[in-house]
Amino acid sequence: MFERDYLIRLLTQAGLMLGKAAGLRQQQKQREALDLIDEFLGRELRLRSRLAMGLSDDDLLSMLSVTGSPNAESVAVVAAFLQQEADLLHDLGETGESVPRYAKALRLSLFMLRHGMEIDGWDVRARVSELLKALEPYELDAETRRAMWRWHEAEGRMAEAENELYELADAQAVTKAEGDGFYERLAACADDVLEAGGLAREELEEGRRQWAALMKEKVS
């Protein structure tokens, strides 16, 4: 009961703090808003923004875990504040700092969706849409593309997942075995599932042949 009460309080306080930061942003007080966010994260989660950005996603999720599993509320709060920080830094023209925060917030949010960690009253899907829009002008890094690839497949968007696979291949950020495994998973799907995901059986088999040819070409 204590933990549940704490998590409800965390979400409530986070919502209030996000509102305060948004108000400061409207007043063109971005630096003050950034300080407010960092103070909140340090007080409530013992986590400063700089530390969150310095950790790998896996290490960050481990920090936000309880009994071995990432805590949905904590992950949601960190993702939301990283997004807010990114907005503030973007306002200040500091894209070198804002873009990595948008990307990390997106990866954390996609992790939540893939693992069924949605929270009532905390619209993670809407945040994902906002983050994707914010990142549109920029080239996604391989880690973020990999998160997108997994998310599209988990959501049944087979054609979009296949597109991400080839983007990763172009960046030399995916292995032959990973691509083979992807096509094997898709081949095991029923035809109606494939078609609902934008990939007919014939297109799947053609894509599989193209993947094999691409991997053979890279080896040779």
| pLDDT tens digits for range 181-212 | 999 999 999 999 999 999 999 999 999 999 99
pTM of the model: 0.94
Mean pLDDT, residues 28-46 taken together: 94
Mean pLDDT, residues 84-109 taken together: 97
Q: Of 135, 169, 198, which marks where a domain is finished?
A: 135
CB atoms within 10 A of CB 152: 21
Give the CA radius of gyration of the chain.
Answer: 20
Do 102 and 153 belong to one domain? Answer: no
Q: How far apart are CA 95 and CA 86, in angstroms?
A: 8
Do 114 and 158 belong to one domain? Answer: no
Do 124 and 156 belong to one domain? Answer: no
CB contact at 8 A, 49 and 60: no
pLDDT of residue 128: 97
Do 114 and 149 belong to one domain? Answer: no
Q: How many domains does the chain have?
A: 2
Q: How far apart are CA 91 and CA 95, in angstroms?
A: 9
pLDDT of residue 220: 56
pLDDT of residue 218: 73
Q: Of 102, 135, 168, which marks where a domain is finished?
A: 135
Question: Which pairs with CB-CB distance under 8 Å and at least 24 residues apart come from 194-198?
Answer: 194/158, 196/156, 197/156, 197/157, 197/158, 197/159, 197/161, 198/157, 198/158, 198/159, 198/160
Structural domain range at position 113: 2-135
Mean pLDDT, residues 81-94 taken together: 97
Amino acid at 125: R
Q: Tell me the pLDDT of the chain averaged across its residues.
A: 93
pLDDT of residue 42: 92
Do 123 and 167 belong to one domain? Answer: no
Amino acid at 135: L
Q: Of 135, 170, 202, which marks where a domain is finished?
A: 135
Residue 219 confidence class, pLDDT cut points 50, 70, 90: low
Mean pLDDT, residues 36-41 taken together: 94
Question: Which pairs with CB-CB distance under 8 Å and at least 24 residues apart come from 45-49?
Answer: 45/74, 45/77, 45/78, 47/78, 49/81, 49/82, 49/85
pLDDT of residue 105: 98
